[in-house]
Amino acid sequence: MTTISAVLSDTTAADRHAVQAMAREKPRLRNWLRRHLASAADVEDVLQDLFVELVLAQRAARQIEDMGAWLFAVARHRLIDLFRREKRSPAADVAAAADDDVGPSLAELLPDDSAGPEAAYAHGVLVDHLTEALAGLPAEQREAFLAHEFEGESFAAMSARTGVGINTLLARKQYAVRKLRQSLATIYLDHSTD
């Protein structure tokens, strides 16, 4: 297995580009991985594997248009491999599969408001629109979405707390995500035609 130090021993422009991309995406990736992995060591192992794979892809002159999306896709595949090896329980598999179907959280997709005035403006507009869209959701969907996405509560913990089945909670969150994505797509179309 290739280590980070071995990869960095031959630093090129492509390597520096990969290092910058990984530094930019690492906080979002770490947060996303923490929701799926119980062990902090597993999270760090996956992050290291992602970095090595990104550097090797860059060295092979692979054209990666959206490094963030590419890194999340590779991370998702790593999780699937880990889950297969661990033989997770059926309830955990259902929750993990539902999260994989949803993809990165909406909070992770918002522009970084510290990346300059345009990004800060876009972040503010999207947060305002997201707040309004959340208020328009049915209460049960809004509660499931907020508990999982913003409070980090697992579906199993929500089920134990509310007495509602995991599959019902998963469905509520998925409906909420679909409605929020439709709402955010509308604002994207409104602002992309300006």
> With 60 as the cut, is the pLDDT of residue 95 above it?
no
CA–CA distance, 122 with 126 (Å, rounded to integer): 6
Token pair for 49: 């594997």
Exposure of 110 by Cβ count < 10 A (0-12 exposed, 13-18 middle, 19+ buried)? middle
Q: Under 8 Å CB-to-CB from 144, ≥6 apart: which residues?
A: 158, 169, 172, 173, 176
Q: Is the Cα dihedral 53, 56, 58, 63 positive or negative?
A: negative
Residue 67 has pLDDT above 50, yes or no: yes
- At 15-45, the pLDDT tens digits run 777 788 888 888 988 888 888 777 788 888 8
Predicted local confidence at residue 172, as pLDDT: 92
Fold of the domain spanning 89-194: Arc Repressor Mutant, subunit A (1.10.10)
Q: For the chain, which residues make up each domain, given as ranges? A: 1-87, 89-194
Grade residue 119 by pLDDT with cuts at 50, 70 and 90: low
Check for a shared fold between 1-87 and 89-194: no
pLDDT at 161 exceeding the cut of 80: yes
For the structural domain made of 1-87, what CATH number should be given?
1.10.1740
Cα distances (Å, whole numbers) of residue 70 to 73, 106, 158: 5, 17, 31
